[in-house]
Structure 1
């Protein structure tokens, strides 16, 4: 009786990888799916928070109640001023401030704010800097010469009632952070930038020259009213 033999083919061509299961996902696809889930979850949370904000205060669990518990104002010091405010300039500036994350798109994390700033800068002459020889009078008291220091600029006085955020774009992460932040409307950086830009513009606007001119005219009229027929007002270098 012949004995049949089974041939075991172990050649490399015969050894094949098992077919991939239809439900199996690659690692890249899994990461994309996870990112989409995170973004959608954050969007749903943000939408829910916006709905809660639109609810009336009596039914909104996140509604805020403002109470002013400030203490009395304490006077710390008083100082005498010898300044003649001789000119003032009103300015407007639009601050365009943009903040972006290095590796994230602006729709996820980032912000851009357009801030309209209104402010004024005063120019003054400091009479306290007049020396002992700053005013000279002739013997018959008909002519006087006054040497004044250059006018200086006060710090910018930003008007909070006329300054406002014109437009603001925020990413998803920024919106969530603003909701849970203790001070979501913090605009300190915008105010500082607007004040700095207005101050720089005032220095280049000729405001100091206008203040010098007004101070000279004021002293000339004052001394002539006191009986001096010739009045000369000179502006010295800044001290």
Structure 2
């Protein structure tokens, strides 16, 4: 009578496990590369976006008494660099190149007019108006036309972004873009154009009401 002895499977050595793990990582990376290169495969495993936001709530209503007479479109390239003392940029530091596009409105405040700012003669043929100078509104950055061209970050900054969310990463360059757009609006002739357009609007309006002479001036 013969007895057969089954041999127990040998345990996989440590070096074989390491090689298997490396092969699995390479397979996963290769599969991800294939998904990125081939649009069909990428769409098969693509993500979907769902908007689950609640309804917008009306908080307040404000009556407007100003005439928006002109609008300027501006674009600025912001180059913001932050360095760390005693450390090279490759270790700690950031540099962002950002294109900011936005608009600035110029308006005339018609709600601040007093009774003596508008005079009409007895025949109702001549009207004289004294208006305040045009103002500049707050610059409005357009997110659809603003974008980061490049971002350079040191090793420590990249590690920090990896382990924590940083929603304010572009806030600094956006604030600078708004500031530069506002400064450019001040140096432009936007308020002058707004006063000219307001004068033309009032002149046409009053003449359509029967006035023969219309005089519009601007003061403090």
Q: Does 1:180 align with 2:163?
A: yes
Cα distance change on mapping 1:171 and 1:67 into 2, 3 Å: farther
1:105-161 deviations in Å (ceiling 9; x for gaps): 000111101100000000011110111121101111111101111111111110001
Distance 1:184 1:131 in 2: 47
* SS of equivalent residue, structure 1 residue 133: helix
User: Structure 2: any 5+ residue segments left out of the alignment?
Assistant: 1-28, 37-46
TM-score normalised by length of structure 2: 0.76
SS across alignment from 1:77: coil
CA distance in 1: counterparts of 2:87 and 2:164, whole angstroms: 21
Once residues 64 and 197 of structure 2 are traced to their aligned partners in structure 1, the CA distance between those partners, rounded to angstroms, is 19
CA contact (8 A) 1:100 1:111 kept: yes
CA distance in 2, matches of 1:68, 1:193: 31
1: distance between equivalents of 2:105 and 2:175? Answer: 18
1:67 deviation in Å?
A: 6.0
Alignment match of 1:126 (pick from 109, 113, 137): 109
Q: What is the RMSD of the two structures over their aligned residues, measured on CA atoms?
A: 2.6
Deviation of residue 184 (structure 1)?
5.8
CA distance in 1, matches of 2:168, 2:127: 57
- 2-side partners of 1:66 and 1:179: how far apart? 23
Unmatched 5+ residue regions in structure 1? 1-50, 58-63
* Counterpart residue number, 1:203: 186
- In terms of fraction of residues, the more helix-rich structure is 2
- Could you tell me how far apart the structure 2 residues matched to 1:68 and 1:108 are? 39
In the alignment, is residue 100 of structure 1 matched against residue 83 of structure 2?
yes
Call closer, same or farther: CA 1:70–1:90 in 2, change over 3 Å. Answer: same
Give 3-state SS (helix, strand or coil) of 2:86's partner.
Answer: coil
The normalised TM-score by structure 1 is 0.70
Question: Aligned match of 2:198 in 215, 219, 223?
Answer: 215
Q: Flag the 1:98–1:197 CA change in 2: closer, same or farther, 3 A.
A: same
Counterparts in 2 of 1:111 and 1:140: CA distance versus 1, 3 Å: same
Structure 2 matches for 1:1-239, cutoff 5 A?
68-183=51-166, 186-237=169-220
Structure of greater Rg: 1
